[in-house]
Amino acid sequence: MRPVETRYARNGDIHIAYQVIGQGSFDLVFVPGFVSNLEIFWEDPGFVHLVERLSAFSRLILFDKRGTGLSDRFNSNDPPSLAAQLDDMLAVLNAAGSGRTALLGEADGAAIAVLFATAHPQRTRALVLFGGYAHFHSSVLPPELFAEFLRKLDASWGRGIMLPRFSATRTDDQRFSAWWGRFERLSASPSSAMTLARMNAGIDIRDKLPKVQAPTRVIHRMDDIHVAAEGGRYLAANIPGATFTGLPGNDHPIWMGDGDIDRIADTIEEFLTGERRAVSGERVLVALLVVRVLAPRQMPTGINDHQWREQLENFRELAANLFALHSGHVVSWEPEKIIIRFDGTARAAQCALALRDFAGVSPLRLAQGLHAGEIEASADLVTGFAIHVAEHVAAAAQSGTVLVSSVVAELAVGSSLRFTEHCAIDIDGLDAPVRLFTVAAEQHLEPARTHKGEPSLDALTMREREVLSLVADGMSNAAIASRLDLSEHTIKRHVANMLLKLDLPTRTAAAAFSARHAKD
């Protein structure tokens, strides 16, 4: 992909550089972190790959914040306020012809995205917050360390001073280190970098989080070297309806990390469109729920074999609906064992608790185990050691119990779930015992909704209802486009709008919603 034309939006006397890439069915604005340069970014293969992925399903808008990259500089004695930066973003959207957009905020850009969403809810379609935080000093640097950081900026800016704080894995790469120093020099002057750092140190948007109305997905590398993962967890825990996706790795920039870019782009694409690109042989981080269907201790009084089979069929139908509502995908379904994969640990645990509650008022006995890890996925097969671990966790569970591994407990922090340490088990292939926890709900748990109340078909246009019924029939966007004699681009826009209006996470959840209302 070749660099695209750089244009300028005006906010009063200030010019803000921006670029527009792709022809997707909706707009996605990338709000950069500390500093950026729209021309230099295109020299990095990781950044180019991220842009290619995001612009494949959206009209992607990139910009340099005031004082950075190709945008106008500011007087260091009169730095821009956060409100001025919001006005700059609004000017970019207006210049690019964007009415309503999704925002992808990185690091301090996540805070700016949150502020924009609360100030301009009518212009905000959805939020994706990557490596972000609400309060600088508790998530990035405490005041005493920040003072030393400023001294280093003053003495060494332009020589790659930020690289060790952003990517420890790339510091030994001499060519990349030299490029990073050039990136610093062309992204901001030393005085501008220090001014921006001071401005970021003042970020505290904790009081704004409950006011966010847009659907929100928080993504964070669990060992992020620059912003503690707890910063991302705090965002997800305090933004209404937000979900959290934790990824392995310690690189801070969204466009770094081996194998991470596709995983991040997949997560963003599925959140914003309801679809996820399937790549044969891809290794992905998932939550795996293993449900053991146990034989009853004794057949309930007055029930015969035929009625028992009906009970099992009812369970199968209800379980399938619960999996769909929680965006679960069945890996295998045997009479006595079901394996389901989820993209989020909290969502998987919520589904397990719902299944447990159903079994508690039926003759069924269920024992469930949940683990998170990497698997190799293709269209027809899911393999990986994580499944082996999940099966052992389930084997340790008793009737009516949901056990989760310590990995799940760590990734689901801030999700309104309560974990209590239960035991530890040895698993072949692992050096150390696996700690297991029981899980319970601190409040009534349902799939997270941004809007209160059950979504209604009344929110959809007639065309969107038609598309919903075809999605429920299992048809792809291409097949729906052929049936309705519309472009696939138009169908993708209808699906994205439909999911947003109904506050549903995926096409599978939309199909389940349609099935429920068809019975009403």
CA 26 to chain centre: 18
Domains of the chain, first to last: 7-139+204-273 (3.40.50.1820), 282-441 (3.30.70.1230), 457-519 (1.10.10.10)
CA–CA separation, 394 and 347 (whole Å): 17
Neighbouring residues of 155: CB distance < 8 A, sequence distance ≥ 6: none
SS3 344: coil
Mean pLDDT of 63-83: 86
pLDDT for res 3: 63
Q: Is the pLDDT of residue 166 over 70?
A: yes
Q: What value does the mean pLDDT of the chain take?
A: 85
Considering only CA atoms, which of 132, 190, 129 is closest in space to residue 162?
190
Mean pLDDT of 172-177: 87
Structural tokens at position 27: 């707009």
Pairing of β 434-441 and β 417-425:
antiparallel
CA–CA separation, 40 and 184 (whole Å): 10
Q: Is the pLDDT of residue 505 over 70?
A: no
CA 123 to chain centre: 21
Per-residue model confidence as pLDDT tens digits over 206-254: 999 999 999 999 999 998 999 999 999 999 999 999 999 998 888 899 9
Of residues 218 and 480, which shows the higher confidence score?
Answer: 218
pLDDT for res 453: 54
Mean pLDDT of 313-332: 78
Of residues 86 and 505, which shows the higher confidence score?
Answer: 86
Burial tier of 207 (Cβ tally within 10 Å: 0-12, 13-18, 19+): exposed
Q: Is the pLDDT of residue 335 over 80?
A: no
